[in-house]
Amino acid sequence: MKTTKEFAVPPVVFPSGGNPSAGSNNIQQRRVATAPFQPPRSSTSSIPFMSFDIGSAAASSSSGALFGGPIGSGGSIPGGTSFEDEEPLLDELGIHPDQIWRKTKSILNPFRANPAVHKDSDLSGPILLYMSLCLFQLLAGKIQFGVILGWIVVSSIFLYVVFNMLAGRNGNLDLHRCTSVVGYCLLPVVILSAASLFVPQGGTFRFVVAGVFVLWATRVCTALMVALADGGDEHRGLIAYACFLIYTLFSLLVIF
């Protein structure tokens, strides 16, 4: 004969929707205050641990000083060097305005070029002259940024190869110095581009003026190339012819 067992079932109580405060009280009771983060301690370790509170650490770091000192009070950067001892930004980038100005002035006199100031080659001045030439061409309605940049690169490589082939083993002209000289000698072409804005299109006078500026650039570039590198004095005529071709191409961009 089967026997039946009776189990006591607790009553199910559903929360009432009319008393919202009861539900919020239950939620607040379930919230347990969390303690700051504490790493587990080992029973065999003798190193003391300190509690770490993320909120307090963020607040203290935001109110702390930058680079070990308050901003504007002459603090120091990592390594023990103060901000006052740092070099100017232009010097760190390799841009020296006084040196660029001296090299530019040396190009203005085609009969007395000073090769001493061009021993330290740089590309800051040539880039400035390139941008000036492109700006004057843009004012004339010619967008030739890529063409002029490409011709500068090709002309520098061409003159570098020609000079070292003529000089042979004695040639010590590097590409960086060659590009610097070619770029600085663009100054007559830049002046020609600026003057062509006020000269009528066509006519013999325009070609005569362009020829004068081409001879100016050719003479200065040849003198600097021969003075700065060894082995070029014997082939001055051929180097001058290569320079003449280079600056004739640039002048054709201006007059046409």
The reported pLDDT for the residue numbered 233 is 85
* C-beta separation of 239 from 226 below 8 A: yes
Count the neighbouring beta carbons within 10 Å of the beta carbon of residue 95.
17
pLDDT for 231: 81
3-state helix, strand and coil shares in percent for the chain, rounded to the nearest 5:
60, 5, 40
Q: What pLDDT is recorded for position 167?
A: 87
The pair of three-digit structure tokens given for residue 178, joined into one six-digit string: 């060659």
Instruction: Give the model's confidence band at 252: pLDDT under 50 very low, under 70 low, under 90 confident, else very high.
Output: very high
Averaged pLDDT, 63-72: 48
> How far is the C-alpha of 32 from the C-alpha of 67, rounded, in Å?
39
Predicted confidence at residue 160, as pLDDT, reads 95
pLDDT at 65: 47
Query: What is the C-alpha to C-alpha distance for residues 246 and 154, in angstroms, rounded to an integer?
Result: 9
Residue pointed to by tokens 């308050």: 70
Which residues, in sequence order, are CB contacts of 209 under 8 Å at separation 6+? 192, 195, 196, 199
Quote the pLDDT of residue 136. 97
Mean pLDDT confidence for 130-153: 96
pLDDT at position 67, please?
Answer: 47
pLDDT at 169: 81
- Around Cβ 72, how many Cβ atoms within 10 Å? 8
Instruction: Give the separation between CA 113 and CA 126, rounded to whole angstroms.
Output: 17
Q: Are 210 and 251 in contact (CB under 8 A)?
A: yes
Top-confidence residue, 159 or 90: 159
Contact 213, 189 (CB under 8 A): yes
- Mean predicted lDDT score pLDDT of the chain: 79
